[in-house]
A and B are shown apart, each in its own frame.
Chain A
Amino acid sequence: MIELAIILVPVLTAGVALAWRSNATRPWLLPVAGVLHATLCGWRGLAPPAPLASEWVGFDAVTRAVLPALSLLFLVCSFYALSYLRLRAERPNRTFTGALLMLLGLMSLALQARHVGLLWIAIEGATLATVPLLHFNGTARAYEATWKYLLVGGTGIALSLLGSFCLGYASLYGGGSGDLTFAGLTAQGGALSRPWLMMAWVLMMAGYGTKMGLVPMHTWKPDAYGEAPGVVGALLAGGMTTTAFIALLRVKQVVDAAGLGGMTQQMLLAAGLFSMVVAALFLLGTPDFKRMLAYSSVEHMGILAVGAALGGAGLGAALFHVWNNSLTKGALFLSAGNLRRAAGARTRDDVAGMAWVSPWSARILVTGLLAITACPPFGPFFSELGIVRAGLGAGRGVAVLVFLGSLLLAFLGMTRLVFAIVDGRPGRAAKATGARFRETAGLVVPPLVFLGLSLGLGLTTPPLLRETWAAAVKALEVIP
């Protein structure tokens, strides 16, 4: 019952938001839904009953390991959104609020879906719910980004549907009765038809990989993250990508159970390392600090893929990294949104001296930058260390070398850009816009909270969380 409530609370609130009349009070629905959602997730996370194998929706070990992170992300973002929408009071926020809540509901459904078709429907729905969020700003650039997102994302989602069909046919060919729950498919194991399973895996990699933003299907990401409001970027980079990653993990479990584990590992490792290298190279070149965050997101998806490919301890570290990525990206996107607004521009050439114009946001951005590039004692350092250790333990020396090399390149590229915009003397125009957009507590506290959470995860990782990740790894690992 609580499982359904986790999905229905945001969806119903979205309905209320669409019917709500006052533009000024409507955004308050966001924190209300956020608090309710977080309470429900926390409650279920503390006392999880194991779902039945045949259930289509359930709060299983994998959900338990990641859904609370999403809930936390949304909760903090919702308070930021409150202040943000007050700044943008001139624009109607009916669709924006509704779509944001709908996105939360559908992502909760996707993380809890235990059925191939249901998972696909949830992710497709979430993709469509994102569209109004991306062109909230209403500029020509925002429409361009939305169009590219729709085209690339739509194609990706179509390919993952085809992959789902191939999975269904693999089961049917193996004598299955049309039971497409992940538990049922995993139980079928080696009986599944291998050629069809390979087709399914390749298509799912392409399809859900597009949603994750793995290279070369990442092209929509810089555009969409660059043009969307900061709060939407945070939710996409921290939530949507996680959802797609978990979908891929669930499919991987089925494919591994059929004895094709070698193939999934190789492909995930290759895609992950390739994404990291390409993203690092783009990070060296991009002059735009919002697009920089998008490439950083591509890089972190690569890290997740590498962790998943290593399996065991690596997978555990990847789940840890999901938390770190979500929370740290929250801090970065929200503070970058503040800076973008205060500077009135977005590239290295036009922006400088932000430390004087909006000191708090600039400090948060710099600290967040250190956190995301894995400086101790922030959380990402420990999760990436875990992946490196798992890689060395598995004897993947070259992969670890590439991994560390691209982390270093990314660090160089990102610090160069961030210090260029933070340092120096602010231009006259930036001073004027900066005076218009004063830093208020509502805009600064949420990213600070994210930063604190990221630091806290690094200093003292709660044993309860460690336990949930271990349980999720155990549930996802296939017993041969």
Chain B
Amino acid sequence: MSHGLDVLARLAFWLVLAPLVPGIINKVKAWVAGRRGPPLFQLYFDLAKLWRKGVVLSTAVSPGHVAGPAIAWVALMSAALLLPLGPAGAILSFRGDALLFVYLLALARFCTAGAALDTGSAFEGMGAAREVSYAILSEAAVITALLTLAVQTGSLSLGAMLAPAAGPGAAVLAAGLFVVLLAENCRVPFDDPNTHLELTMVHEVMVLDHSGPPLAVILHGASVKLLLFATLLVQAALPLGQWPAGPAAGLLVISLLGVAVGVGLVESLLARLAFQRVPLLLTTAFILCLFALLTSWKASTSSEARQGAMNPAECRCSGTRAAHSAALPGESGGKRA
């Protein structure tokens, strides 16, 4: 019974709280610009309005046009449920759920892009192409980030992977994941969510032909994805698992707020990048995650070497090979900072 309640509470968390994040970001943007901005709950109003409206379908589309958003939403919600929530942990946790998490995100993207292509419109095809070409780079970064965590903890389960901090490379990893968050959710340096020019849009242009409840589902799914990446980022960078439950939950919420404010500030202070410069930024994110992987890898290999290492002073006399192994624990000491 309590398990059922737990599931319901989590569903409520994701369902109800997710649309709040774009609201916070918009408020921050308005505050920086000195405006009042839309109400905090604007997205809720929009969703409610869209839900009541009818659906207009092009004659050219197949059932996939409506099924796409639905499958994407389910995939995103499942991925969200796999993600542990600080001290509460995840509902479902098994070995390799990190892989499922990545695949669910990819499935959601596939369905959104597929539904966009289904309309046969040139604009939506272009948007889908852009979305997928960004994804090639940002998925590489996400996978590298998860690999870093897996190497760090020696586990393939999200719950265990996210409990400790990402080790010495935490700051680097967090920076990389933040860039990925911006790219995956089509935020400013990559895409402008407020734009109304089809030629410059990425995500928005893919959903031009959707209307009514399917559009509501897409918008809600997008907000869930934003919250999802924010949660992943916070838990990867901060050692929430090593804290007592109360403060950890508080810290989680505060950090999520912080991420939202950060996104808002980035959107207010940065201009959108020229399209040719986007791959460079995404490559940077990938390299950041790669270096985080490298540091955690070196730390873990050298901790093994540390157990077998002798006194370094002896090694130096006994030749270069031994000196090599003596260099390893020393390195680890440096890296463990």
Residue of B nearest to A194 (CB): B320
Closest Cβ–Cβ distance, residue B327 to chain A (whole Å): 11
Residue of B nearest to A193 (CB): B320
A138 to B320, CA, bound (A): 54
Question: Is residue A195 within 8 Å, beta carbon to beta carbon, of the partner chain?
Answer: yes
Interfacial chain A residues near B320, Cβ < 8 Å: 193-195
Interfacial chain B residues near A193, Cβ < 8 Å: 320
Mark each residue of chain A from 190 to 201: 1 if its CB lies under 8 Å from any CB of chain B, else 0: 000111000000
A193 to B316, CA, bound (A): 10
A193 to B320, CA, bound (A): 8
User: Which secondary structure characterizes the binding site on chain A?
Assistant: helix
Residue of A nearest to B324 (CB): A195
Closest Cβ–Cβ distance, residue A384 to chain B (whole Å): 41
A194 to B320, CA, bound (A): 8
Closest Cβ–Cβ distance, residue A52 to chain B (whole Å): 31
A312 to B320, CA, bound (A): 31
Residue of B nearest to A195 (CB): B320
Interface residue count on the A side (C-beta < 8 Å): 3
Closest Cβ–Cβ distance, residue B323 to chain A (whole Å): 8
A193 to B319, CA, bound (A): 9
Closest Cβ–Cβ distance, residue B113 to chain A (whole Å): 47
Interfacial chain B residues near A194, Cβ < 8 Å: 320
Closest Cβ–Cβ distance, residue B100 to chain A (whole Å): 45
Mark each residue of chain B from 311 to 336: 1 if its CB lies under 8 Å from any CB of chain A, else 0: 00000000010000000000000000
A195 to B320, CA, bound (A): 8
Residue of B nearest to A196 (CB): B320
Closest Cβ–Cβ distance, residue A423 to chain B (whole Å): 57
Q: For window 278-331 of chain B, which residues contact chain A by CB distance below 8 Å?
A: 320
A63 to B320, CA, bound (A): 35
Closest Cβ–Cβ distance, residue B330 to chain A (whole Å): 14
A329 to B320, CA, bound (A): 46
Interfacial chain B residues near A195, Cβ < 8 Å: 320
Closest Cβ–Cβ distance, residue A199 to chain B (whole Å): 12
A404 to B320, CA, bound (A): 42
A193 to B322, CA, bound (A): 13
A195 to B321, CA, bound (A): 10
Closest Cβ–Cβ distance, residue B30 to chain A (whole Å): 53
Mark each residue of chain B from 109 to 152: 1 if its CB lies under 8 Å from any CB of chain A, else 0: 00000000000000000000000000000000000000000000
A293 to B320, CA, bound (A): 46
Q: For window 152-198 of chain A, which residues contact chain B by CB distance below 8 Å?
A: 193-195
Closest Cβ–Cβ distance, residue B3 to chain A (whole Å): 60
A195 to B324, CA, bound (A): 11
Residue of A nearest to B317 (CB): A175
Closest Cβ–Cβ distance, residue B313 to chain A (whole Å): 13
Closest Cβ–Cβ distance, residue B93 to chain A (whole Å): 47
A442 to B320, CA, bound (A): 61
Closest Cβ–Cβ distance, residue A331 to chain B (whole Å): 51
A195 to B322, CA, bound (A): 13
Closest Cβ–Cβ distance, residue A201 to chain B (whole Å): 16
Closest Cβ–Cβ distance, residue A300 to chain B (whole Å): 38
Q: For window 181-223 of chain A, which residues contact chain B by CB distance below 8 Å?
A: 193-195
A318 to B113, CA, bound (A): 71
A150 to B320, CA, bound (A): 38
Closest Cβ–Cβ distance, residue A171 to chain B (whole Å): 14
Closest Cβ–Cβ distance, residue A175 to chain B (whole Å): 9
A256 to B96, CA, bound (A): 55
A183 to B221, CA, bound (A): 75
Closest Cβ–Cβ distance, residue A76 to chain B (whole Å): 51
Closest Cβ–Cβ distance, residue B288 to chain A (whole Å): 28
Residue of A nearest to B316 (CB): A173
A344 to B15, CA, bound (A): 85
A77 to B217, CA, bound (A): 87
Closest Cβ–Cβ distance, residue A9 to chain B (whole Å): 47
Closest Cβ–Cβ distance, residue A200 to chain B (whole Å): 15
A193 to B323, CA, bound (A): 11
Closest Cβ–Cβ distance, residue A198 to chain B (whole Å): 11
A193 to B321, CA, bound (A): 11
Closest Cβ–Cβ distance, residue B317 to chain A (whole Å): 10
Closest Cβ–Cβ distance, residue B212 to chain A (whole Å): 65
Closest Cβ–Cβ distance, residue A225 to chain B (whole Å): 41
A445 to B320, CA, bound (A): 60
Closest Cβ–Cβ distance, residue A142 to chain B (whole Å): 38
A194 to B324, CA, bound (A): 13
Closest Cβ–Cβ distance, residue A292 to chain B (whole Å): 45
Closest Cβ–Cβ distance, residue B328 to chain A (whole Å): 15
Closest Cβ–Cβ distance, residue A179 to chain B (whole Å): 19
A/B interface sample: 3 pairs, CB < 8 A: A193-B320, A194-B320, A195-B320
Q: Which A residues lie at the B interface, using CB under 8 A? A: 193-195
The 3 closest A-B pairs by CB, nearest first: A195-B320, A194-B320, A193-B320
